[in-house]
């Protein structure tokens, strides 16, 4: 998707900046607050699929590739336009998520988030590492289906053994995670305005 426009053009029918009430101390203040913020992205079906920067959301909105679902009480401004700060946006066109999810990088944080920040062998919540269920030395791949969160002691105890040899079987069969996992990885703090759009499952495990 093209879209790294730094100064987006005004949308059709936009109101000149001079006609907008001003919020905040100055235009720059709004921009910096916006840069720190994150926006929840919903698919056309309202399924939460991602988190993006406010700038990225603004580009999608100005190109009419997305619409605002929830917005903040202050405005974003560029030289040519202004808009309510988006908090939740919805893509106008449906995006196929499962394929995208498969392509997402396997990171420690994402593995931990998927596994509820718990060692999949003993349930410990500290000293987490990632473990290859089938060790790499025995042909195990670095895939979502073969990597789990494991505490350091369990990881050492299991060593280079197969799960059955070590008698250590992960509590849950590791799978490609639900897209919500990446929302928590991208934004450990979940703003209140997002919660109606995030199903209960998974929200509690953000910390």
For residue 141, the minimal CB distance to Zn ion (Å) is 22
For residue 174, the minimal CB distance to Zn ion (Å) is 15
- Closer Cβ to Zn ion, 122 or 162, answer by number: 122
For residue 159, the minimal CB distance to Zn ion (Å) is 13
What is the enclosing helix (H) or strand (E) of 69?
Answer: strand 66-77
- Closer Cβ to Zn ion, 52 or 119, answer by number: 119
- Closer Cβ to Zn ion, 112 or 197, answer by number: 112
Alpha carbon distance 207, 64 (integer Å): 34
Q: Note whether 49 and 97 are within 8 A (CB).
A: yes
For residue 151, the minimal CB distance to Zn ion (Å) is 3
Applying CB under 5 A, the residues found at the interface with Zn ion are 119, 121-122, 124, 151, 154
End-to-end CA distance of the chain: 32
Which residue reads 């401004």 in tokens?
77
- Closer Cβ to Zn ion, 102 or 156, answer by number: 156
**How far is it between the farthest Cα atoms of the chain?**
72
């Amino acid at each position: 998707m093209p879209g790294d426009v730094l100064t987006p053009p005004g949308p059709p029918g936009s109101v000149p900046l001079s006609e907008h009430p001003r919020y905040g101390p100055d235009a720059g203040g709004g921009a910096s607050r916006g840069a720190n913020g994150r926006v929840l992205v919903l698919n056309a079906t309202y399924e939460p699929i991602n988190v993006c920067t406010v700038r990225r959301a603004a580009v999608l909105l100005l190109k009419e590739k997305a619409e605002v679902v929830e917005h903040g009480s202050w405005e974003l401004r560029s030289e040519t336009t202004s808009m309510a700060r988006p908090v939740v946006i919805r893509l106008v066109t449906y995006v196929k998520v499962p394929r995208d999810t498969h392509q997402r990088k396997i990171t420690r944080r994402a593995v931990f988030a998927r596994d509820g920040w718990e060692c999949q062998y003993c349930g410990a919540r500290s000293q987490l590492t990632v473990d290859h269920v089938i060790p790499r030395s025995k042909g195990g791949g670095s895939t979502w289906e073969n990597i789990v969160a494991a505490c350091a002691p369990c990881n050492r105890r299991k060593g280079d053994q197969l799960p059955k040899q070590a008698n250590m079987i992960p509590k849950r069969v590791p799978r490609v995670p639900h897209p919500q996992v990446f929302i928590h990885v991208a934004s450990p703090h979940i703003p209140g305005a997002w919660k109606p759009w995030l199903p209960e499952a998974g929200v509690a495990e953000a910390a």
